[in-house]
Amino acid sequence: MDQLATMRAFRRVVETGSFTAAAAELNQSHTIVSRQVRQLELQLGAQLLNRTTRRFALTEAGQEYYERCRHIIDQVDDAAHAVSAHQARPSGQLRINAPMAFGTLELAQWLPSFIIANPQLKVDLVCDDRLVDLIEEGFDVALRLTHALPDSTLVAKRLAASDMLLVASPDYLQRHGIPQTPADLAQHNCLTYTLAQKPGEFHFRAADGTVHSATVRGNLQANTGIALRSAALAGLGIAASGSFIVHEDLRRGDLVQVLPDFTLRPRELYVLYPQNRHLSPKVRAFVDFAVEWYSTPRWA
């Protein structure tokens, strides 16, 4: 006797409320389904159904067996689906949301490689510093750079950390001097990010663990880090920027780190996606690719 087949037959009988309906769903005859349930009762040595000519009812033993039977079948089906999904080729449209600066400067570097590796995918990338609702707006996956994620039903996987750095051009520092402490920033033109929780405040931790705060002012604020980077490169002032934005400028010497002994709180990079019972191949492929890409530090 095929134990799993008889368990499936029993479950369908219970859930459809009819041997005939269960037989139709299973593409079997009424006789075969009835025989499977009877064989199951004989094997278990317990009556699972109280039968009459027109209806049946679960016995106490039948109710307990049904609950366990349903759980076992679900687990078997989940395992089979997981393997099938893993083997399936990602296809269809993948809608991705990312912050403007990250999508433009960072994601754009490796997204083409991901698409080449998954030729059956069509990618729709939307770069937006607004906090979108993935489910309501129909996104499959999102990348977030943040200090802390809000509570939600989304699955979040951490990929990397991006240090926040104070930067300025050598020309600006030559003209206005180099700050030695966070308090010195009050005498400088500071370029701020509009969407920060408190755009006019910087909070630092010194090497000895002490915490320092500075209230800053400047003649430019923007809702994208790209504009702040461009302004800093032009010698306009001092900007707080993610390392993923300015690491190449620092390497070339076009920008210089300011107050290197005082650290700003880093931002964590996450990939987020809706919590589904079965992760689709296209989302799984994107998440796996991103995890592999950021398995080594990118912005030293």
CATH tag for 3-86 (out of 1.10.1760.20, 1.10.240.10, 1.10.10.10, 3.30.420.40): 1.10.10.10
Q: What is the pLDDT of residue 215?
A: 94
- Top CATH class, 164-265: alpha beta
Per residue in 122-150, pLDDT tens?
999 999 888 888 888 889 999 999 888 87
- CATH 3.40.190.10 domain range(s) in the chain: 92-161+268-293, 164-265
Q: Which CATH class is domain 92-161+268-293?
A: alpha beta
pLDDT at res. 198: 85
Say whether pTM exceeds 0.85. no
CA distance 200 to 191: 9
> Which stretches of the chain score pLDDT less than 70?
1, 53, 84-87, 151, 277-278
Exposed e or buried b per residue across 161-175, where buried means at least 16 C-beta atoms within 10 angstroms of its C-beta: bbbbbbbbbeebbee
- Element holding 41 (H helix, E strand): helix 30-44
The string of pLDDT tens digits covering residues 83-126 is 766 567 898 999 999 999 999 999 999 999 999 999 999 999 99
Q: Say what the pLDDT of residue 277 is.
A: 61
Taking each helix axis as running N to C, give the angle between helix 60-87 and helix 3-16, from 0 to 180 degrees, rounded to the nearest 10: 110
d(CA 185, CA 215): 8
Confidence (pLDDT) at 17: 87
The answer to whether the beta carbons of residues 271 and 159 sit under 8 Å apart is yes
10-27 per-position pLDDT tens digit: 899 888 888 888 899 888
Q: What is the model's pLDDT at position 86? A: 57
